Structure 1
């Protein structure tokens, strides 16, 4: 036996998290970070663009406020459905397949919106696209939690979720460029006749339109191309293979990971096929009801309530801030600036969570959010600044709580 082989044989054997921590942050870490981040960016764009296009849609289709407001909420119904089915599906067929499929789905279902002629067709496709959006978010968070080194995981998760905010910023820029908010507001208020502002001709469509809002949804077709890139470059998480008892595939993924990162497979030699996870999950069928047994019920309720509150603030603001700005006499620029400030706040949240801990960061974030919402009610012109601090990335940190609080064979279910 050579000295090298002897050293490997005598070295402590590694579990998956120890292996990832030993490799630390490397070029493959950053590749996965960018791949997952871009998925969230397209997600953010898809969700937010309807809010910037909404005034134009309302004016062109002569919708009342109730129906117009519902158009920004239909995707939330799909989000719930996607979130519910994505977890068990990811545990069954893998994180990568669910992620690629979800990105492909919400990209594909944007194309019919370019041709939609009434709000009913528009609503149906927004619900269906929402299924893809709802599946994407928890799976991305799970992949971040399972691939990123523990010392920098808080940063990577919150920075990764900040890509979604970046997507909303891009939606604001695109919406501001393609949508004539002033003309739409004038038509909605009854100050201008629709026929006098319908001056835009669009490819493959008859007649004239108020502006280019349909093009914004055509741009949302790009995730289809990106899903192909994900299929070729995204790695399945080793936790999935380990939880399914597929030790050979798990080790093969980690060997490939180390080889691409360092050109060697030294650490992979120390992996023990019989001890890949710190606590090996039992090979039993896991029911969602398991989340409410005595061992997990407190964590489950705490995570669900916190995640619900975070999503209520995040999605609620994304849905109504553009319209609110218009009603107060502002342009879309203010809403876009608010989202850009939130992007910075998300990144800072990642740094802070690695210093003071995830739980404290979430608690401080919610307290700061409550204060900022109060200030926003009292100071309308401070709305943009307050919004930035109101959007703490508790949703991202809750994603890490989900992964760390439950066994690997529960990961998909709790990601709902």
Structure 2
């Protein structure tokens, strides 16, 4: 027997952007800031601890690779927890988790304990990311959520240069000052100060049969929005829907869940290998090809200026055009720019093409964060998003090995052929098989103006 579907999505979709939404943007941007800050702390401190503990490069490689395994496990576990415990509670738990283990890393005594703590931290970072993506998707109106997802990332990504700047000051101060970088990463725990202003996702509450709680949340959001903006437009009526399988791994048996999960896994694998392959290897490969270490680091630093601008660009196009085709175009531009980067050693062109890669890659990520949850219903949204994102991160446990083998066996340019090809495969998969979501967003936008 069909049953009346919940109406939370329709009621949220016709809300104007209010104080609640702005507070949520600040809260999630804060969490992302320390996610971007913490994800690079090991790379920054590794040269210091390697010498201090007498470790070799292979130990650094193992810790780095295992961190991506941790990201996979963390995202998948968090996806299941968010479907069972709720989005807000899981967001809280995952932020506490990565902050706690980042703090523990500050007290690591050898490479083994460092590796364990970094794997556990990475699990929390990835877990927090996927839950935050789903949470924003469910509490922002459909017609504008892509733009605000991009703005949140644009602010959050500033955590990377901020951490680099702080580390460049702290690490040279003494033998043990590298530990302070991990204390900085642990400040993500201050996200808990925002909790009182956040609400549980009403879509999740209704999907779990907790209609009274969902109603209370919706009335609060509607009351605040009406107080700011006046009378609200009527929500679209509920629709009839067939009962769905409850949250959990049983969803893997459903074609409507399995197909987007496979497609999004291809998207995130190409993004992860393509992005980390470029950002992690570009300075090393330039130096290996005869460019001085100082110049290679300076060139790469200049190219990263494009990162926040890319998120801003994504914010301008994500809700205006079909998200699928924006991803395809961005992916192809990254492929072309990355390939041209590898074919030139002219300093100006190295910076220009590297800037283009960073610009469009961060835009691509913002678009993908908005697109991924849209391919699922409420029951499967968290688990599906987390599995596909986790598989992408897991792929980078082998990505560096592939790139190292290509460079050793076939040379510098082959690496960039591989990276460009990876991006092109992701773009082609989306072009051929990616569902379009703009029509649904336009319908939601039309409902707002009724």
Which structure would you say has the larger Rg? 1
Smaller-chain TM-score range? 0.7 to 0.9
Contact map agreement 2:18 2:224 (CA 8 A) in 1: no
Matched, 1:352 2:322: no
Q: Which residue of 2 aligns with 1:225?
A: 190
Change (3 A) 1:67 1:367: same
Separation (CA, whole Å) in 2 of partners of 1:246 and 1:287 = 18
Deviation at 1:314, TM superposition (A): 3.4
The 10-residue stretch of structure 1 (229-238 or 391-400) with the greater mean CA deviation from structure 2: 391-400
Q: Which residue of 2 aligns with 1:311?
A: 272
Report how many aligned residue pairs link the two structures.
373
Separation (CA, whole Å) in 2 of partners of 1:98 and 1:22 = 26
Query: What's the TM-score once normalised by structure 1's chain length?
Result: 0.80
Separation (CA, whole Å) in 2 of partners of 1:177 and 1:289 = 50
Q: Which runs of 5+ in 2 are unaligned?
A: 1-5, 387-450
CA RMSD of aligned residues (A): 2.9
SS at structure 2 position matched to 1:235:
coil
Quick one: which of 377, 386, 397 aligns to 1:407? Answer: 377
Q: What does residue range 35-46 of structure 1 map to in structure 2 within 5 Å?
A: 35-46=27-38
Q: Which residue of 1 aligns with 2:361?
A: 391
Quick one: which of 322, 331, 353 aligns to 1:366? Answer: 331
Deviation at 1:112, TM superposition (A): 2.1
SS at structure 1 position matched to 2:200:
coil
Q: Which residue of 2 aligns with 1:177?
A: 169
Quick one: which of 45, 61, 74 aligns to 1:82? Answer: 74
Matched, 1:252 2:216: yes
Separation (CA, whole Å) in 1 of partners of 2:115 and 2:138 = 35
Q: Which residue of 2 aligns with 1:144?
A: 136
Separation (CA, whole Å) in 2 of partners of 1:250 and 1:167 = 34
Separation (CA, whole Å) in 2 of partners of 1:396 and 1:288 = 27
Deviation at 1:270, TM superposition (A): 6.4
Query: What's the TM-score once normalised by structure 2's chain length?
Result: 0.75
Contact map agreement 2:83 2:247 (CA 8 A) in 1: no
Separation (CA, whole Å) in 2 of partners of 1:405 and 1:348 = 23
Deviation at 1:75, TM superposition (A): 2.3
Q: What does residue range 91-240 of structure 1 map to in structure 2 within 5 Å?
A: 91-180=83-172, 200=174, 209=175, 212-226=177-191, 228-240=192-204
Separation (CA, whole Å) in 1 of partners of 2:361 and 2:233 = 44
Contact map agreement 1:52 1:322 (CA 8 A) in 2: no
Q: Which runs of 5+ in 1 are unaligned?
A: 1-13, 181-198, 201-208
Separation (CA, whole Å) in 2 of partners of 1:325 and 1:236 = 48
Contact map agreement 2:261 2:385 (CA 8 A) in 1: no
Matched, 1:54 2:54: no
Q: Which residue of 2 aligns with 1:285?
A: 246
The 10-residue stretch of structure 1 (345-354 or 155-164) with the greater mean CA deviation from structure 2: 155-164
